[in-house]
Each structure stands twice: as C-alpha cells, then as structure tokens.
Homo-oligomer: A and B are copies of this chain.
Amino acid sequence: MTADLPAAAPRARFRPPAVPQVEVRGFWGSRIDAVCAKTADTLYRRCEEAGMLEQIDPDRPVPEIRIPFHGGLVTTQMFWDSDFGKVIETAGYCLQRAPNPNLERKVDDVIDILGRLQQPDGYLSSWYQRMQPGKRWTNLRDCHELYCAGHLIEGAVAYFQATGKRKLLDIMCRYMDHVATVFGPGPGQRRGYCGHEEIELALVKLARVTGQQKYMDLAKYFIDERGRQPHFYDAEAREQGRDPKDYVFGTYEYNQSHLPVREQDKVVGHAVRAMYLYSGMADVAMEYGDDSLTRALERLWRDLTSKRLYVTGGLGPSADNEGFTADYDLPNESAYAETCAAVGLVFWAGRMLGLGPDARYGDAMELALYNGAAAGLSLDGATFFYENPLESRGGHHRWTWHRCPCCPPNIARLTASIGSYMYGQSDDGIAVHLYGDSTADLDVGERKVRLVQKTRYPWDGAIALTVEPDAPAAFALDLRIPGWCRKASLSVNGTAQDLAAITRNGYAHISRRWSPGDVVRLDLELTVERLHAHPEVRQDAGRVALRRGPLVYCLEGVDNAVPLNRIRLPEGTELAAQDEPGLLGGVVTLEGDALAETTADWDGDLYRTAPPAERPVRIRAVPYYAWDNRDPGEMLVWVRGA
C-alpha cells in the first residue's frame, strides 16, 4: 500500500469549454481539418462496409456473423454500437467546424435507425436485441452493454451541441431512465456495473447537458459500487451457471473491479478501461467535491507517471491484456500502447485539471496528446495505428481499418474536440492548459471573455495572448509553464513579470483587472533535450530519447543512412532544430553528427573480441507523431546514448 498523498487544498472548479467555444488554428487546426476532410467520412464508410448498419437496423435481416470486408472477413461485434457513438461524436464536432450535408444526412439516418431500434421500455442495444435476444444484462463483466450506451451518449451530446438536433439525446435519456430503474441498491435492482468503463463519464456529460442530477447520481452509483464485496461479477457468473474462477483474464484487475475504487493505488488491467474509469472518477470527484476519490486518483496518477508510462505518453505495454503488466515494464518494440489508451489519458488528465491548474496534469495531457495519441492518425487522416511501439524494424504500419475499430474514431473525436482541452473556465478566471493558435470565447462568471492566442507552437515557443473581456473586469489568468521548459519569460502589456513569484503548481497566475486588448506574451524556450529513463526500465538502459518542447522525436530509416541501432549519440552530441516547412506537413527536425558502428572490418565474423569501430554519421530525427507517413522503414525512439 502506498501512503496517501496529502489531499489537495480545495481549488476552484474549472470547466472545459464546449467545442464550439474554441476556434482552433495552427498545428491542431490542420489536424482537425484532416479529420473533417477525410477521417469523419472514412469512419462512417468503414462502419457501412463492415455491415454495422445491418446489425443496428431492425428493418433489415439479422446479419451473418462473418461479413466480407476489404478482401477478408469481419465478425460482427458486440461493441459496434459504440463505434456508431464515436462516429456520431466525431461528425458532430466536424459539422460544427464546417458543413458536410452528406455526412449529416447519413448520421441523421443512423439516429433514425436507432430510434426505430429502441424498445418501448427505453432499452437500446443492437447486439442484445438482434444478435443475442433475450440475454440483456446477463453478462456485464465481459460484454459491452453499458459501454456502448456510454459512447452513444457522448455522440448524442456532441451532435446536439453541434447541430441543435436532440433526437439521439432524447433517445439516450429514455434509455438511461430505464437503466436507472434496473441498476441501483433498491429491492429488485442489480448492484452491477459495466466490465468496460465508459458509462460513468458519459452520464456526467449527459447530466451536464440536460441539467438532470439523476444521471450524475447514476454515474456516481456505478463508481461507488465497483469492486465492492460480495463481488457482483462472482454473483452474476453463478447466476448464469458459470464458475467465477473461469474468468478468462484471471483477475478482476483486468477491469479495475478488484477493489473498491477508493482503495485502488496501482494502475492495472486493461489500459483503456482504466483511463475511462479514472476519468469518470475525476468527474464525480469534482461534481461531488469528493476528496476520497481525489486521493485515490492522485495515488493512481503517481503510480502511472512514476512507473508505467512510456516517454511518448503511451501506456499499457502488453497485447495479452491490452494493458498494464509490472512496474517499469516498458518494452519498446513490442509495446502495445494502444492509441485509445493515450486518448484516455488525455481524458483523465483533462478532468484532473477541473480541480484547478496543476502542471502535473497539463504536462501529461500535452505529452500524450502530441505523441502517443497523435501518432494514431496518419497526416492525411486516412489510416490508423492501433499499437504504438517505440521501435520498429520496418514492419509496423497504419491500417485502413481493424476488426476492433475503437482507435480510429477515438483519435478522431479527440482531435476534433481539442479546443475543449486547451482552456479551463471558472467563475474567477481562465486557465490555459495547452498552447496553440486559437480563439476562445469563454465564460468567466457572468463575463464573456474572448482570448486570442497567436503562436507557431509547438514549433516555436513565442505565444501572444490577447484578452478581450466584454467589459473591463478583474479575474485571473493561469498559464501553464510546461515542466519541460528550462527558461520562460512573461510580460503583460510589455511589462515583464516575475515568473518565479507568481507561479504555483506549474501555472503562472496573473490576477488583475483586464481590459479589452491587453496583451500577454509568454516565451517558452524550446531546447533539444536528451531524456534518460529510470534505471529499472531495462529496455532503455544506456539509451536516450530526444525531446523538444512537447514533442518526442524518433529516427526513421528513410532519413538515416545506417540501420538505426548502429547509431550512438554520445553525451555532448549537438542536435540542431531545423524548420522544414515542406516536410511531413511542416515540422521541425533535429539534425546533427553522431557516431555509427561500421561493419567494414568485420570480414565475415559474427562475434569478435575487438569492439566495433565507429565513424561519424549525419542523423535526422522527426517528431514521433509523424512517423510512418513516408517510405516504410525502421523507427527508433530510444537511441543508444552512452
């Protein structure tokens, strides 16, 4: 057991802005444009091609279990409703940015189908209505019944906010009204919860958008109940004539129900489930001011970030459980590091910031976003990574689809909604968590404040913020000073500020009366840094990773003349940042002279007593997120550096 960390002092509650409140340009603007121009349509088309429409449509024949797809077969999946949820959510965000009548019409059709599918009592699950009728609520542990509902709720909320259309929102309210009768502590109710967390954070969103406390309470119920004894999944298994010991994953750690959530202190099991649970816990902690949840979350956060997180912000090293293994077990070539898990870490970190500015969370959110998550989508928005290894011999490439297609819509919806992660708004002020060219229309108490960010970030650390309150007003502006930044300077209307004096929890706190047109300038020095891993990370011993600002870099075969593991970057190797507007959509590369072992004098020997000779070699590193967008080849994050 880890000793509890001291609970944070009560802090202002910062709400994220809704997506329509923020216009995103610059780096993330171009990524959103790719999602809107390509990914959003692709997601719908793949669902259509995979036969998902047949599964949800009550007016069509029940589909075969195996369906021809892109030259192979896909199997109908119990979690396909969730894919529609994420498709609808992504479409919602994109429709808000730019009209796409064709996509909107298709989404409306899907919503109409779901409306026809919904049962009179409100229940809605294409799997349990069409593929396994009569089996509803019989296997919460293994199936994805409430998980699917959660994603449909998230889709409904986003689509409502983007288009004002509330049909799916109403459908999901009816469904949740039914769910609230089924689950709970009352007589005849089930004391259950979903094996794949998601419904919790979705119910919070539903409560916020509808103003209905009952949905919030249901979210809290699912969280409070999780892992309690007698264990629900034991009882459920026995009720269904199954032996609880036959659980395929062996331990309830897999779905984080091994202990009541407030007693958990290790991030374990399936990584995406863990991130979704902790996100829901953070929401409930904030909504209910529940410090017992916050303390558990802080322990879990410390466990993750001190022992179980890749340098890219990826997480969950093992394919076996799609999740966590042992402390410091972070293999590079076999890293699972599912795109969804990094997306989930952004969700969790973003929600921890609801308790107030704290660079621990802002830094990790930025790390996962720019690296472990962003890598999941090709630059053109057309292809996807599921696993995100930190080393490849040349055989790892993005695919057009996957039999478990969770990652494509997940990175798409995160990217398209990035604006809501950039800022926090409270009654007393504004927090800027992420830098990026953008315009935000925020609510500070009763005040409307427009904040205009001008910057080339992440390529350049110069950031200008123009503050435009609708009338002069006193409030605080909190600006994250990233943990990776060694030198920062700040001015307000040209007057330098003493950063050390005003920075707390890693955020510069500027409390003043703001007038329209006030300009804050923040300069973050971007240096090329060598990162070393904790000595217990066996795979990284003697190796370094390269970082500049929020971006972790990698070597790719296409840029380098020798096989990547022959390269060594001795201490003192100078690497220069090079602006390359024509490369990979515009990136800053790192270039310099390193050493590489030469094979010239080996004469057919495989082993010898003389150390290999080295010769100078020019190397180039590119941002990790941008790898595998050119000729296929090797990739390496942790370069030999001793």
Which A residues lie at the B interface, using CB under 8 A?
Answer: 302, 305-307, 309, 311, 393, 529-539, 541-542, 545, 563, 565-566, 568, 571, 596-599, 602, 604-612, 640, 642
Contact = CB atoms under 8 A, between A and B. Distances in A.
Contact of A642 (B531, B565, B642): B642
Q: Which 6 A-B pairs have the closest CB atoms?
A: A535-B597, A538-B565, A306-B604, A642-B642, A531-B607, A541-B565
A599 B536 CA distance: 8
A363 to B, nearest CB: 11
Given A302-B604, A306-B604, A604-B302, A609 B542 contact: no
A537 B393 CA distance: 12
Contact of A530 (B311, B532, B599, B609): B609
B529 A597 contact: no
Nearest to A530: B609
A605 B533 CA distance: 9
A565 B533 CA distance: 13
A611 B545 CA distance: 12
Given A566-B535, A571-B611, A611-B571, A606 B542 contact: no
Nearest to A545: B607
B306 A597 contact: no
Contacts of A642: 542, 568, 640, 642
Given A306-B604, A541-B566, A532 B599 contact: no
B536 A563 contact: yes
Given A565-B541, A640-B542, A642-B542, A534 B609 contact: no
Choose among A311, A529, A612, A640 the residue with the greatest number of B CB atoms under 10 Å from its CB: A612
Nearest to A634: B538
Contacts of A606: 305-307, 309, 311, 533-534, 537
A608 B532 contact: yes
Nearest to A564: B538
8 contacts: A302-B604, A306-B606, A307-B606, A531-B607, A535-B566, A536-B563, A541-B565, A571-B611
Contacts of A598: 535
A317 B264 CA distance: 40
A156 B288 CA distance: 81
A552 to B, nearest CB: 10
A541 B311 contact: no
A605 B568 CA distance: 24
B565 A532 contact: no
Given A571-B611, A640-B642, 7 more contacts: A305-B606, A306-B604, A532-B608, A534-B605, A534-B612, A535-B596, A536-B566
A541 to B, nearest CB: 5
A368 to B, nearest CB: 14
Contacts of A602: 534-535
Given A309-B606, A311-B607, A599 B538 contact: no
B531 A608 contact: yes
B542 A568 contact: yes
Contacts of A535: 563, 566, 596-599, 602, 612
A608 B486 CA distance: 13
Contacts of A307: 606
A537 B612 CA distance: 12
A147 B599 CA distance: 41
Given A532-B611, A536-B563, A542 B545 contact: no
Contacts of A533: 606-607
A393 B330 CA distance: 13
Contacts of A610: 532
Given A542-B642, A604-B306, A607-B311, A612 B566 contact: no
